[in-house]
Amino acid sequence: MARVAVRVVDFEDGALPRVCASTGDEATVLREIRALHHPWWPLLLFFLGPIGWIVALVVASSVSRELSGWVPFSEAANQRMSQSRRTRNQFALGALIGTVVTCLSLALMGRGRVALFVGLIGLLVAAIGWLAAARPAGSIGASLNPNGRTVDLTGVSARFGERYQDQEARRRAERQAGLGSVHR
């Protein structure tokens, strides 16, 4: 799997090569992806204690940036990701429901401490399921660069990366050819 930096405008408009970002096959679907940028430095405020925690949360939410864009996928890859997400969400929901039923049963039997322990473990399992659903198998990562001009796509197929680099090389050549005729 490769990493490629694409221009923000290409990401937002879906102006990317029609190659599946995940598999390298022909792309037939554009899937919406969110790119995030969360700077690390607000975490330093956590060392200031409870007031620092509040300030860190406020600062982190104000300096974080997010944008949505469109990335090409093959129909098969898109279906696999959707099915994987559905399955993982169902698992997490099942874990949550099972946890609630088990905790209520234990509490009614007078086993409050055990119910609390089972509840914490169940919530952890459900949270892991929902986190796994957020990034299903075959998906790619997207993060906004601090410069705000490019988006790093990670886990993309090598063929997708090559085709985007070819697209950018053609754009540069066209711009340079246009500039050359102006200076003559």
133 or 80, which is more confident? 80
pLDDT score at 63:
67
Q: At what angle do helices 112-134 and 75-108 cross, to 10 degrees?
A: 170
pLDDT digits (tens, 9 = 90+) for 123-134: 999 999 888 887
Question: What's the pLDDT band for 121 if we cut at 50, 70, 90?
Answer: very high
Per-residue confidence band for 112, with pLDDT thresholds at 50, 70 and 90: confident
Q: Report how far residue 50's alpha carbon sits from residue 93's, in angstroms, rounded to the nearest whole number.
A: 33
CA atoms within 13 A on the CB side of 162: 7
How high does pLDDT run on average in the chain? 86
* Dihedral over Cα of 61, 62, 64, 67: its sign: positive
Reply yes or no on whether the pLDDT at 75 is more than 80: yes
Cα–Cα distance for residue pair 149/11, rounded to 1 Å: 10
pLDDT of residue 158: 92
Predicted TM-score of the model (pTM): 0.70
- ∠74-140-34 over CA atoms, to 5°? 105
Lowest-pLDDT choice from 58-62, 138-142, 175-179: 58-62
Q: Report the pLDDT value the prediction gives residue 134, as an integer from 0 to 100.
A: 78
